[in-house]
């Protein structure tokens, strides 16, 4: 059912239907208003929220540009942001930025053209892409960005600190040869935390593997480790997906985790609890991150703000510990 159907049933114009449903801007006679509302009930008409948002300037919709919502981490982040926006009385329009045929800057402009009230970007932006966001003149928050974000709000965890604590946990087990597997696309603060932890413990850097984020990237990184003359005693994976991919490759070839090599990962997704051995992982506080992001978008008085939250280590069996709760 459309608004035109309601208008025909009630014997009025579509403009009058709009005035009734939107509470104005023009007044409608009580009897006419009742005819319109009766038509809505009889026909079961439901306004199209997206079309209504576009026509009204979308005071209740935020846009979210996320790298890839198929991954467990981004799926859980989208869910947390959807809940936070709903709690604030808003709705969320989600677009993936991994469509390689469309430049990220164009996707940002396309989202803004939908007259959204605010923009959340869960991806790492170049300085040029940040300039595009700033030029839009709408509230915006960048999540998970490494480095400076110019005049934009940013929310994320302290990646270096989280990785450093995860690596220190491995060092606490007595492991002295600790590898790192992460992306080389942009300098990863998790790699910096790994380096700092080993340096502080006066240990040499273990093997450094640059691999794409994802299960296949982790699988390939583990295969590369197993080709070395000797297997490192532990590895820090920059994401749960990389860690799970490594577990699959090790398991295929009879390498025991944690007996032959310990694995600790980063993110704290649900998937890390449903592999064996379950992954010890640095957990990102997604609900808190989402709440802060929405607060920054809905507070018109907020000045430029960077919020670095902390991870906590969820200990499971993959590092050599008995599992702990929490």
Q: Are 140 and 305 in contact (CB under 8 A)?
A: no
258 and 167 belong to one structural domain: yes
pLDDT at 326: 45
19 and 93 belong to one structural domain: no
Position 204 in a domain: yes
DSSP state string for 124-167? ---HHHHHHHHHT-S-EEEES--S--TTSEEEEE-HHHHHHHHH
pLDDT digits (tens, 9 = 90+) for 157-200: 999 999 999 999 999 999 999 999 998 766 689 999 999 999 99
- CB-hemisphere CA count at 13 Å for 262? 24
Position 320 in a domain: no
Position 40 in a domain: yes
Exposure pattern of 49-59 as b/e (b: 16+ CB <10 Å)? eeebbeeeebe
87 and 205 belong to one structural domain: no
Position 119 in a domain: yes
Complete edge-to-edge strand list for the sheet that includes strand 61-66 = 91-96, 61-66, 118-122, 140-143, 153-157, 306-309
The secondary structure element, H or E, covering residue 264 is: strand 262-267
In degrees, rounded to 5, the angle at the alpha carbon of residue 253 between the alpha carbons of residues 249 and 257 is 70
Question: Where does residue 122 rank: exposed (0-12), middle (13-18), buried (19+ CB within 10 A)?
Answer: buried
Position 99 in a domain: yes
pLDDT at 257: 98
Position 192 in a domain: yes
278 and 216 belong to one structural domain: yes
Position 317 in a domain: no
Model confidence band, residue 48 (pLDDT cutoffs 50, 70, 90): low
User: How many domains is the chain partitioned into structurally?
Assistant: 3
DSSP state string for 165-181? HHHHHHHHTT---EEEE
152 and 163 belong to one structural domain: no
In degrees, rounded to 5, the angle at the alpha carbon of residue 307 between the alpha carbons of residues 306 and 311 is 145
175 and 137 belong to one structural domain: no
149 and 169 belong to one structural domain: no
In whole angstroms, give the CA distance from residue 182 to residue 196: 16
278 and 164 belong to one structural domain: yes
DSSP state of 273: G
140 and 63 belong to one structural domain: yes
The average confidence (pLDDT) of the chain is 88
Q: Which domain holds residue 24?
A: 3-47
pLDDT at 44: 82
80 and 149 belong to one structural domain: yes
Model confidence band, residue 56 (pLDDT cutoffs 50, 70, 90): very low
In whole angstroms, give the CA distance from residue 283 to residue 168: 15
Share of the chain above pLDDT 90, in %: 59
Share of the chain above pLDDT 70, in %: 89
82 and 163 belong to one structural domain: no
> Helix/strand/coil (H, E, C) string of 32-73?
HHHHHHHHHHHHCCCCCHHHHHHHHCCCCEEEEEECCCCCHH
CATH number where 12 lies = 1.10.260.40
pLDDT at 2: 84
**Which of the residue ranges 82-86, 187-191, 248-252 would you say has the lowest mean pLDDT?**
187-191
**Which of the residue ranges 3-7, 79-83, 208-212 would you say has the lowest mean pLDDT?**
3-7
Position 316 in a domain: no
75 and 133 belong to one structural domain: yes
Task: Give yes or no for a cis peptide into 258 (omega within 30° of 0).
Answer: yes
Average pLDDT over residues 89-109: 82
For residue 302, the tally of other CB atoms under 10 A from its CB is 13
**Which of the residue ranges 45-54, 60-69, 102-111, 296-305 would you say has the lowest mean pLDDT?**
45-54
Which residues are bridge partners to 142 per DSSP? 121, 154
In whole angstroms, give the CA distance from residue 228 to residue 248: 18
pLDDT digits (tens, 9 = 90+) for 190-242: 999 999 999 999 999 999 999 998 999 999 999 999 999 999 999 999 999 99
CATH number where 120 lies = 3.40.50.2300
């Amino acid at each position: 059912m459309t608004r035109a159907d309601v208008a025909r049933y009630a014997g009025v114009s579509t403009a009058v239907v709009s005035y009734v449903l939107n509470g104005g801007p023009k007044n409608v006679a009580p009897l006419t208003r009742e005819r319109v509302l009766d038509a809505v009930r009889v026909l079961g008409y439901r306004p199209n929220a997206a079309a209504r948002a576009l026509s009204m300037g979308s005071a209740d919709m935020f846009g979210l540009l996320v790298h890839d919502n198929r991954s467990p981490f981004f799926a859980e982040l989208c869910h947390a942001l959807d809940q936070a926006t709903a709690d604030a009385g808003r709705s969320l329009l989600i677009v993936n930025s991994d469509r390689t045929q469309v430049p990220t800057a164009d996707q940002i402009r396309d989202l803004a053209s939908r007259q959204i009230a605010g923009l959340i970007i869960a991806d790492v932006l170049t300085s040029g892409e940040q300039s595009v966001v700033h030029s839009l003149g709408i509230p915006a928050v960048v999540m998970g960005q490494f480095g400076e974000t110019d005049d934009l709000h940013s929310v994320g965890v302290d990646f270096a600190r989280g990785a450093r604590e995860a690596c220190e946990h491995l060092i606490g087990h007595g492991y002295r040869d600790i590898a790192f597997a992460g992306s080389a696309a942009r300098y990863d603060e998790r790699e910096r935390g790994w380096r700092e932890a080993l340096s502080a413990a006066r240990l040499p850097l273990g093997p450094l593997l640059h691999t794409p984020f994802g299960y296949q990237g982790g699988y390939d990184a583990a295969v590369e480790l197993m080709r070395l003359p000797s297997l490192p005693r532990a590895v820090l994976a920059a994401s749960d997906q990389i860690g799970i991919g490594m577990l699959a490759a090790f398991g295929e070839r009879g390498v025991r985790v944690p007996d032959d090599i310990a694995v600790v990962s980063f993110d704290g997704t649900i998937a890390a609890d449903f592999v064996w051995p379950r992954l010890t992982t640095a957990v990102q506080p997604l609900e808190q991150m989402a709440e802060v992001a929405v607060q920054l978008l809905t507070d018109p008085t907020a000045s430029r703000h960077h919020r670095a939250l902390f991870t906590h280590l969820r200990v499971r069996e993959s590092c050599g510990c008995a599992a702990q709760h929490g």
